Amino acid sequence: MLVTAALDSAVRVAFLTFLPFVIKAHGGSLAQTGPSLTLVFIGGAIGKFGCGWMADAWGSARTIMLTVVATAVFIGPFWSRR
C-alpha cells in the first residue's frame, strides 16, 4: 500500500504540474488552462466524495480494489488506440 500511495502521489503531482504545459503545447491558451485545472480539481473532489461513500458502504478494501480495476479497465483502451 505504501508503494501504491507513493506512486499515486507522484503521478498526481506530475500531472498537475505538467497539465498547463501540455495544454499550451496542443494549442491551448491561458484562458483554457484555468478552467481545465478547475475541472480536474472538481473531478478530484467528486471522486473523493464518491470513494468515501463507497468505503463507508462496502469497506475500504473493496473500494480500493474496485477503483484500481476500474482505472485499469478505462485507461487500457485509451492507451491501446495510440
CA 35 to chain centre: 16
Written as nine digits, the cell of 67 is 477503483
Domains of the chain by residue range: 2-80
Q: Does residue 82 have a pLDDT over 70?
A: no
Q: Where residue 3 falls among pLDDT bands split at 50, 70, 90?
A: confident
Q: Does residue 63 have a pLDDT over 90?
A: yes
Cα R_g (the chain), whole angstroms: 15
CB 53 within 8 A of CB 43: no
* Span 18-48, pLDDT tens digits: 989 988 999 988 899 999 899 999 998 999 9
Whole-prediction pTM: 0.67
